[in-house]
A and B are shown apart, each in its own frame.
Chain A
């Protein structure tokens, strides 16, 4: 082993290069640890950038190829002839009218009703907007009324095969269809039922049918109820939407909307943006840490080479040779780190992108690392390792050869703070050595502590995401939305419908809810959302203030979720304008009663009677929240599936589980990766600190062994210092983790959800534990060296 190493060195031409190789091999574990820190920093950058870039590219290519709409314009019912008028509007490139019909599926093996939507496709030819990607089978044939293409995810979740039949309730009538194909669609990257938070492949399905067949089933011959548009490049979306709204107002248009209000795209974009935020926040932190650590470690490493440098200079090497030698030394380490980081990072980035692509059901994956990522990795590595090496090399080269070769005089402890310790009689001498050494070299101690603290901080702040998600889910599902089932009616019904629902089997409590699509305006800002009317004393679904108490809106006022209040720029007491976009479209003003903490989704809630009054209607409801007897859900679901007035049923338990899976698979994966990198940094830093401390004190430790100290006693002098510094650093690390977590909480919140700043104490515990384990194993590795200390060799040098 040692012979083959020497051979590598001997094969090199220049003497210094042989020394380089031998030196590097001598500290190969340390060099590897530094390289790992560099690699971790670089890999985080490459993974994030690569994955993000590829996700964005893939999404946009997918949208382009399948002609994903820019704008959707729903109407109650409009004659086909309007299509030509829409096409004439400024900025419209393509238009496709279609019929969209909500349905309830009755799936065998699933007692709960699955809601869904049927969409028409032209009888002949492909749609001009919103095409589908067939994964299996074929499109419906012209004139075949019972043929249907199902959303791939839904079909697979139910184990359907081509040729199977499915039964659905459309406008109160049960019909059976034959499945002829499975498809993906850019409109349903996330297949989310309207008003739902999360996709559930089993509980929400999409079917595509021929236009004639769907017109007949939906009873809308010669009419459409949705137009999907692609805009001309550079068109003003806002202007097109306004024009559309004016054009379609006579046909009962609740308002056209763009991609940002399209639920699937909003979801995908928000997730990708979130990954983007993570990708822009974490890599710089990691890289900075890596750069800092590498610098300090190299500086210390080179400082120990003093005598060697004197020798080199005595042999006639120039200062610049010395500087260049150590720069090469650092560059080799940097190059190894860079190679591991870029190689591992792009592999991992591709894996992760592939995973996300599968998760999003994109039909293909584009993966290419932008050149800028390589450039950034290279630049940062150069700065991190090169800077440190040049500085340390310069300092070393400044020594005169004679000075450098003379054994350095004993370091002077007399003026150090530690001199005072002489008076503390209770300390044994080893403890004195530990304390004085720490106080004599505060910068070194600070470095070790910083390394440990940063590792703990990075770990804790990575793991914080999991805590925040947990807290968010708990708050949403156990505090705010405590219903088991949400039922939506096809259209608003009198209060009697609530009693009918309440009498269904297994229903324990039923609370009425009224939804009305609205536009909220304040000082030039506009938000489109559904106003929720609920009883003031609602026990099931409610809004919660920052203290965890339910908040209610007195008549004439409204409670907004914090995100909506923020984007409208309002506070409690302010007044906003509300325009309802259905029925006779009343416009009115409301006071902001309160602002609620809504972690998932957004909300605008008022008293249901108040909303009914403002809408100029009797006590109508759009649905109900139910608490149900878990023993009797099957009977309830059977009734709900068969009830013609019910458009949609959503199950809270399923939603929560889906949301958890979503968080796990989406953000979670990235977080696990970041946690692993934080762990790598911990290993790199702590091992190096311990190892360098050992090298610096090797002589002293050998002398202690000569004096008759046991291995354990000697280990105490070395590891006691590390333990002391680690113990001081742990709380600092926790503080730092909390700070980073706070920052992430601010920076990561999206339309979809907001991360609360809540850190589970166990997160600190785990982070500290990981670092302690790393420190302990580093200690044990060095302890093995302690056992092999060469006492005789130590005595031959003065030092």
Chain B
């Protein structure tokens, strides 16, 4: 499964990078309505890092995240996950990839309203290869006591933490989070970020986090800024800030 080592970056520990992209493009529509959302993205994301994606609205952050998560396909270029070529695999394999390796968190919580918090988590643990008990996942986000409540009975922040619990319960190698705090006030937003931080530390998951809030970048190992469908800047933080200390 490994492709040409020359295109595959390894991190310090010698592990293959989590994500590697080469000249990744994504074009929506055609002719006069053509939109080039990604125009040659070159990216190397080492395993185990928290990476924050910044950029103006429309710069292509969500498009990139969706392709990395196997929800969408690139129009051109290469993309590897842990050295495995992802651009030419089948839909079924993409589904497997999402199921086994990726945890998603979105701005909207997208919980199943007909399932309780615990059941929402179990929905995923039932099909995962190496899951943790649903209650443990809820405990990680501080919601063990609300396990038997339905989404309609919970606040937005609580629902988002259930969504995180659902994402982490399968012990994913990557967590892809698209503006997870976008709809939350600062106090709840911080609790959500804390939960992500814990997942990164305790499970070693690589975390890609899109945000509009530049100060969130303080908690990242690495900050990538997109503009016009290209990477404008990549920097690594010398020292990281605890989520509760972020200047919201």
Residues in chain A within 8 A of chain B (CB atoms): 407, 409-414, 418-419, 422, 428-430, 432-433, 436-437, 440, 699-700, 703-711, 713, 791-792, 795, 797-799
B113 with A795: CB separation less than 8 A: no
Give the residue of B72, B97, B153 whose beta carbon is less than 8 angstroms from that of A412: B153
Q: Is the CB of A429 within 8 A of B108?
A: no
CB distance from B175 to the nearest CB of A (A): 13
Q: Taking chain A's interface residues, is the majority helix, strand, or loop, or is none over half, making it mixed?
A: helix
Can you report 19 residue pairs joining A to B where beta carbons are below 8 Å apart?
A407-B108, A410-B151, A411-B113, A411-B152, A413-B150, A414-B152, A422-B119, A429-B123, A430-B123, A433-B115, A706-B104, A707-B104, A707-B123, A708-B96, A708-B99, A708-B127, A710-B95, A795-B108, A795-B110
| Residues in A neighbouring B99, C-beta threshold 8 A | 707-709
> Which residue of chain A has the shortest Cβ distance to B172 in the bound complex?
A708
Q: How far is the CA of A709 from the CA of B149 in the complex (A)?
A: 24
Least CB separation from B159: chain A residue:
A410
Cβ of B152 and Cβ of A709 under 8 Å apart? no
Write the chain B residue with the least CB distance to A705. Answer: B95
Known: A429-B123, A432-B119. A792 touches B114 (CB 8 A): no
CB neighbours (8 Å) of B199 from chain A are none
User: Nearest chain A CB to B134's CB is how many angstroms away?
Assistant: 10
A412 to B159, CA, bound (A): 13
- The answer on a CB contact under 8 Å between A708 and B110 is no
Question: Are A414 and B104 touching (Cβ within 8 A)?
Answer: no
Query: In the bound complex, do residue A436 and residue B114 qualify as a contact, i.e. CB atoms below 8 Å apart?
Result: yes
Kindly list chain B residues whose C-beta atoms are within 8 Å of the C-beta of A792: 62, 66, 71-72
Q: Is the CB–CB distance between B152 and A413 below 8 Å?
A: yes
B130-161 interface bits toward A, Cβ cutoff 8 Å, 1 = contact, 0 = none: 00000000000000000011111100000100
Interface code B96-130, partner A: CB below 8 Å = 1, 0 otherwise? Answer: 11111010101111111111100110111011000
Residue of B with least CB distance to A429 = B123
Contact, CB under 8 Å: A410 / B98 = no
| Neighbour of B71 across the interface among A440, A711, A791, CB < 8 A | A791
Q: Verify A708–B102 contact, CB threshold 8 A.
A: yes
- Output the residue of B95, B97, B98, B124 with the most chain A CB within 10 A: B95
Q: Roughly how many angstroms separate A410 CA and B159 CA in the complex, as a whole number?
A: 10
Report how far A135 CA is from B150 CA in the complex, Å: 82
Chain B contacts for A409, CB-based, 8 A: 152
Residue of chain A at shortest CB distance from B108: A798
Q: Given contact pairs A709-B95, A791-B72, enumerate 16 new A-B contacts (beta carbons under 8 Å).
A: A410-B150, A410-B152, A412-B113, A414-B150, A428-B126, A429-B115, A429-B119, A703-B112, A707-B124, A708-B102, A711-B95, A713-B127, A792-B66, A795-B71, A795-B108, A797-B108
Partner of B114, one of A418, A703, A711, A795: A418
Distance from A38 Cβ to chain B, minimum over Cβ atoms (Å): 33
Residues on the A chain within 8 Å of B153, using CB: 412, 414
| In the complex, B197 has a CB within 8 A of chain A | no
Q: Is B239 an interface residue (CB 8 A)?
A: no
* Contact status B114-A433, CB under 8 Å: yes
Looking at the assembled complex, report how far the CB atom of B100 sits from the nearest CB atom of chain A, in whole angstroms.
Answer: 7
Residue of B with least CB distance to A702: B110
Closest to A414 in B: B150
**A503 to B107 CA separation, bound complex (whole angstroms):** 100
Please report the C-alpha to C-alpha distance between residue A592 and residue B169 in the assembled complex, in whole angstroms: 84
The 3 closest A-B pairs by CB, nearest first: A708-B99, A798-B108, A412-B152
Shortest B150–chain A CB gap in Å is 4
The reply on B92 being an interface residue by CB < 8 A is yes
State A433–B71 Cα separation when bound (angstroms). 23
Whether, in the assembled complex, B178 has its beta carbon less than 8 Å from a beta carbon of chain A, the answer is yes
Q: Tell me, in angstroms, the Cα distance from A259 to B151 when the chains sit together.
A: 76
Chain B residues positioned under 8 Å from A706 (CB to CB): 71, 98, 104, 110
Cα A413 to Cα B149 with chains together (Å): 10
How many Å from the CB of B17 to the closest CB on chain A? 22
Chain B residue contacts of A700, Cβ below 8 A = 112
- From known contacts A429-B122, A436-B114, A710-B92, infer whether A799 and B108 are also in contact, taking CB-CB under 8 Å: yes
Contacts of A418 in B (CB 8 A): 114
Taking the nearest CB of chain B, how far is it from the CB of A334, in angstroms? 34
**B121 to A, closest residue via Cβ:** A429
Contact in complex: B116, A422 (CB < 8 Å): yes
Q: Quick check: A707 and B98 within 8 Å, CB to CB?
A: yes
In the complex, chain A residues whose CB is within 8 Å of the CB of B98: 706-708
Q: How far is the CA of A411 from the CA of B113 in the complex (A)?
A: 6
Chain A residues within 8 Å of B115, by CB:
413, 429, 432-433, 436
Residues in A whose Cβ lies below 8 Å from that of B92? 710
- The distance from the CB of B28 to the nearest CB of chain A, in whole angstroms, is 10
Cα–Cα, bound, A413→B150 (Å): 7
User: What is the chain B residue whose CB lies nearest that of A794?
Assistant: B110
Write out the residue numbers on chain A whose beta carbons fall within 8 Å of the beta carbon of B116.
422
B178 & A795 in contact (Cβ 8 Å cutoff) = yes
**Complexed CA–CA distance, A792 and B62 (Å):** 9
Q: Which residues of A contact B62 (CB under 8 A)?
A: 792
Q: Which residue from B66, B100, B113, B152 sits with its C-beta under 8 Å from A708?
A: B100
Q: How far is the CA of A432 from the CA of B116 in the complex (A)?
A: 10
Residues of A within 8 A of B111 (CB): 410
Q: Are A708's CB and B95's CB within 8 A?
A: yes
* Chain B residue with Cβ nearest A714: B95
- The minimal Cβ–Cβ distance linking B247 to chain A, given in whole angstroms, is 28
Q: Which residues of B contact A428 (CB under 8 A)?
A: 126
Query: Which of chain B's residues has its CB closest to A418's CB?
Result: B114
CB distance from B120 to the nearest CB of A (A): 8
Residues from chain B with a CB closer than 8 A to the CB of A708 are: 95-100, 102, 124, 127
Closest chain B CB from A350 CB (angstroms): 51
The interface residues of chain B lying within 8 Å CB-to-CB of A432 are: 114-115, 119
Q: Which partner residue on chain B sits nearest A787 by CB separation? A: B91
Among B108, B114, B152, residue most surrounded by chain A Cβ atoms (within 10 Å):
B114
Asked if residues A433 and B110 are in contact (CB atoms below 8 Å), the reply is no
Given the interface pairs A432-B119, A706-B71, A706-B98, the reply to whether A413 lies near B108 with Cβ below 8 Å is no
Complex CA–CA separation, A705 to B110 (angstroms): 12
Q: List residues of B (80-97) whose CB comes within 8 Å of A's CBs.
A: 92, 95-97
Cα–Cα, bound, A799→B111 (Å):
10
Chain A residues with Cβ below 8 Å from B109 are: 798
Complex Cα spacing A409 to B154, Å: 11
List of B residues within 8 angstroms of A709 by Cβ: 95, 99, 127
Q: Do B126 and A429 touch across chains, with their CB atoms under 8 A apart?
A: yes
The residue in chain A whose Cβ has the minimal distance to the Cβ of B118 is A422
For the complex, give the distance between the alpha carbons of A428 and B97 in Å.
22
B116 to chain A, nearest CB (A): 6
**Across-interface contacts of B127 in A (CB, < 8 A):** 708-709, 713
- In the bound complex, what is the Cα–Cα distance between A679 and B96 (angstroms)? 41
Determine the distance from Cα of A708 to Cα of B129 in the docked complex, in whole angstroms.
12
Q: In the complex, what distance in Å separates the CA atom of A414 from the CA atom of B150?
A: 6
Give Cα distance in the complex from A710 to B116, angstroms.
22
Q: How far is the CB of B119 from chain A (nearest CB, A)?
A: 5
Instruction: With CB as the reference atom, state the residue of chain B lying closest to A795.
Output: B106
- Distance in angstroms from B166 CB to nearest chain A CB is 8
Most buried by A among B98, B110, B151: B110
Chain B contacts with A in 179-234, Cβ cutoff 8 A: none
A708→B114 CA distance, assembly (Å): 19
Whole-angstrom distance between the alpha carbons of A429 and B118 in the complex? 10
Please, which residue of chain A has its CB at the minimum distance from the CB of B63? A792
Cβ–Cβ contact A412 & B150, under 8 A: yes
Which residues of B sit under 8 angstroms from A430, Cβ to Cβ?
A: 123
Q: How far is the CB of B240 from chain A (nearest CB, A)?
A: 29
Q: Which residue of A lies closest to B166 (CB)?
A: A707
CA distance A704 to B99 in the complex (A): 10
